[in-house]
Structure 1
């Protein structure tokens, strides 16, 4: 398989035969880690290679991955290949590991499964090149608005959009941490490059993005791409303060409590503990910016709300700290930030007005 663009545009299923540690550092959408060697195998064989050379390393590999272990791994590849006959397999460089996996699969099952020439390294290089060259072909429009305006929900009602926060698995603020971990920077960049490539292939160069800082939690938007976004036209969605409070309360309190409980397999006590730690930890992140007095004030309100929720199940008291954080902390920051972007502002209005404006710009 040499057509890397087709591989990503067609969402071809992929067997990644690299070790789990390599897969965790960075992989691709629609790839499954079915390794030839586990982490211990890879470490031992790598040491043998450095000490005694390639032949000795291959010999050790054949010893460690043999018998029942070999049969188990071939069975996993066979199951995947029969479920996804259109797929491919790859290792790091498209060399010995993928050739070995391909050969064993064919010998044991008769399945001739294609491998990616150049492997992960070639695919990663290809996607980095796309991130450098493709953003210049975009005509982005940036959706801005105060915290709690429901920008992400609004964005997701459009086809012509790229949801950076979804790729980052983070809502882009101090309270934006999700119950599940963020992807690595490599995972984020790979998914973003594929999304841009796919949109342009579909003829969608005019795209809506949410107004983001370069850092979204622990991952960052690549510099060349971010420079395109921060010079793009900006539309401002205006939402009443009480509606913003309601949206933020729903996301920070109701949705997150449910998500943390689900992640704890329905264990209400463990879920509530994780949810409480999320809220208090998020507040701690902005302690310095709040200042000592305001921080202690908000923390007391939040702790009281959590105690009331634990005792009665009621979440009404959370409205008090949510309103404080939005109006007293986020709004002044936003006013300063938007004052620096006035030269890019092309439209301002209600969600309905913004939708109509974007429709006129052929963004649907």
Structure 2
């Protein structure tokens, strides 16, 4: 290894996320899987097993012995391959940064090898993943506590998510959680790890508030959980006391919107994610719909559960057998009227004092524009 040089060190954590800097994560794969930052690429210095062995040596014999073991474990050919991966990342992302867990030994070694082997001076983050994670947690607390939120409510099927994303300043918790927030809301892709979800929400909120700290932010009215992901508590507490606007749409329109959101788009999603044909996607949709009905069996009650499940089986057979969606419409109508609407009406009754406006989508949009929200496409 050549003599040490002063390689660049980044200490401004806010700039990392506000400037959307590409991130090269050199932690072991097991660490990356437990939590990462949006868009970060894992190109590890050590494999999981190598990291385990080096960690033991470090505890037993100190840093120099641990470094020596690392070089023993990685032969010249494998070292060249790893350096080539980092070099490719640096070439593709000249404005990027690298980091390890604490911004210590592993990131310094990676940075030094890039310089020695490829002549590349690439900055690393001071404090590494741990410091960036701490910064985001602190920023989330600071930014959420007084965030100028406007909550968007409405019964199932009013199209809250597509309405939400029409506005420039919005926080899409369901999109980030990859879940529509109900028993039927699972997406073809699995939900992100809890830490990944929290990191992404923190970054979204940080960017929104840094750009325009006092301008309102539109957020869908959620419970504490979006699927299996917890809304950050400080943000949720702010949501609970923020003004609420409520979209109202006729039942027939809500049936059609629900058909699109929860079945048609769901099948398309399974085809895309699984790269499968119609039969493979249909099997997934069938399992998804029937499984969701079974998950709410207790709330439906035995008789109604049997009725709804029977309707679902017949409706899915008709759709996949004869391309007939009427049975699905009938199923959705029953679920809206008999299950979702009563539950939503009960929840809304506890929020009456926060309702600032209610009406059809066009009227709600006009109200939001009057309150300072800018549409990013025509309403």
Same fold per TM (> 0.5)? yes
2:146/2:238 contact within 8 Å kept: no
The question of 1:235 aligning with 2:245 is answered: yes
1:12/1:30 contact within 8 Å kept: no
Offset of 1:357 from its aligned partner?
A: 0.7
The question of 1:113 aligning with 2:122 is answered: yes
Counterparts of 1:64 and 1:276, CA distance in 2: 49
Higher mean alpha-carbon deviation, 301-310 vs 168-177, is at 301-310
Offset of 1:204 from its aligned partner?
A: 4.8
The question of 1:45 aligning with 2:54 is answered: yes
Q: Aligned residue for 2:377?
A: none
Unaligned runs of 5+ in 2: 1-9, 375-379
Offset of 1:51 from its aligned partner?
A: 4.7
Q: Aligned residue for 1:262?
A: 272
The question of 1:276 aligning with 2:286 is answered: yes
The question of 1:99 aligning with 2:94 is answered: no
Q: Aligned residue for 1:353?
A: 363
Higher mean alpha-carbon deviation, 16-25 vs 303-312, is at 303-312
Offset of 1:56 from its aligned partner?
A: 3.6
Offset of 1:60 from its aligned partner?
A: 2.3
Counterparts of 2:47 and 2:313, CA distance in 1: 45
Q: Over the residues paired in the alignment, what is the CA RMSD in angstroms?
A: 1.3
Offset of 1:266 from its aligned partner?
A: 2.9
- Equivalenced residue count is 364
Offset of 1:137 from its aligned partner?
A: 3.5
1:262/1:271 contact within 8 Å kept: no
Q: Deviations over 1:43-66 (max 9, x none)?
A: 332344445544443222212223
Offset of 1:152 from its aligned partner?
A: 0.6
2:136 to 105, 108, 127: 127
The question of 1:293 aligning with 2:310 is answered: no
Counterparts of 2:50 and 2:292, CA distance in 1: 40
The question of 1:70 aligning with 2:79 is answered: yes
The 1:316–1:69 alpha-carbon spacing in structure 2 relative to 1, beyond 3 Å, is: farther
Q: Aligned residue for 1:32?
A: 41
Q: Deviations over 1:141-173 (max 9, x none)?
A: 111100111011100000011111111111111
2:21 to 12, 23, 32: 12
Q: Aligned residue for 1:338?
A: 348
Offset of 1:250 from its aligned partner?
A: 0.8
Q: Deviations over 1:187-224 (max 9, x none)?
A: 11111111111111111531111000010011111111
Q: Deviations over 1:213-242 (max 9, x none)?
A: 010011111111110110001111111111
Q: Aligned residue for 1:305?
A: 315
Counterparts of 1:203 and 1:137, CA distance in 2: 13
2:36/2:196 contact within 8 Å kept: yes
Counterparts of 1:120 and 1:168, CA distance in 2: 21
1:167 to 170, 176, 179: 176
1:12/1:88 contact within 8 Å kept: yes
Q: Deviations over 1:331-355 (max 9, x none)?
A: 0001100000001111111111111
Q: Deviations over 1:272-328 (max 9, x none)?
A: 211211111111221111111111111111111222233234333211211111111
Offset of 1:264 from its aligned partner?
A: 2.4
The 1:307–1:51 alpha-carbon spacing in structure 2 relative to 1, beyond 3 Å, is: farther
Unaligned runs of 5+ in 1: none
Q: Aligned residue for 2:3?
A: none
1:160/1:204 contact within 8 Å kept: no
Offset of 1:259 from its aligned partner?
A: 1.2
Counterparts of 2:23 and 2:44, CA distance in 1: 12
2:158/2:248 contact within 8 Å kept: yes
Task: Calculate the TM-score normalised by the size of structure 1.
Answer: 0.97
SS at 1:317's partner residue? Answer: helix
Task: Calculate the TM-score normalised by the size of structure 2.
Answer: 0.93
SS at 2:170's partner residue? Answer: coil
Counterparts of 1:24 and 1:163, CA distance in 2: 23
